[in-house]
Structure 1
Amino acid sequence: MTKLYTLYKDLSTIVPNPPPNSILSHSLLQHPRLKAILFLFAAGQELSEHTASIPAVIHILEGECDLKVGGDKYRLQSGAWLFMEAQTPHTLVAHTNVRMLLLMLPDPLVQEDGE
Structure 2
Amino acid sequence: MATTYTRITDLASQAEPPEDGILSRTLYNDERVKAVVFGFGAGQELSEHTASMPAVVQFLKGEAALTLGDDTIDARPGTWVRMPAGLRHAVRARTPAVMLLLLLKGWPGGLPDRSGSGLVSA
TM-score by length of 1: 0.87
CA RMSD of aligned residues (A): 1.7
Q: What is the DSSP-based 3-state SS (H/G/I as helix, E as strand, rest coil) of the residue aligned with 2:17?
A: coil
Partners of 1:2 and 1:29 in 2: CA distance:
19
Q: Which runs of 5+ in 2 are unaligned?
A: 109-122
Q: Does structure 1 conserve the Cα–Cα contact (< 8 Å) formed by 2:17 and 2:98?
A: no
SS at match of 1:14: helix
In the alignment, is the contact (CA less than 8 A) between 2:64 and 2:95 conserved in 1? yes
> Segments of 4+ in structure 1 off by > 3 A?
none
Tell me whether 1:100 sits opposite 2:99 in the alignment.
Answer: yes
Question: Larger % of strand: which?
Answer: 1
Partner of 1:34: 33
How far off is 1:75 after superposition?
1.2
- Percent of aligned pairs with the same residue? 44
User: What letter corresponds to residue 11 of structure 1 in structure 2?
Assistant: L
Deviation of residue 104 (structure 1)? 0.4
Q: Given that residues 32 and 108 in structure 1 are in contact (C-alpha distance below 8 angstroms), is that contact kept between their aligned partners in structure 2?
A: no
Amino acid of the residue matched to residue 92 of structure 2?
V
Residue in structure 1 matched with residue 84 of structure 2 by the alignment: 85
Partner of 1:14: 14
Q: Tell me, which stretches of 5 or more residues in structure 1 are unaligned?
A: 110-115
- The answer to whether the 8 A contact 2:20-2:41 is kept is yes
With the length of structure 2 as denominator, give the TM-score of the two structures: 0.82
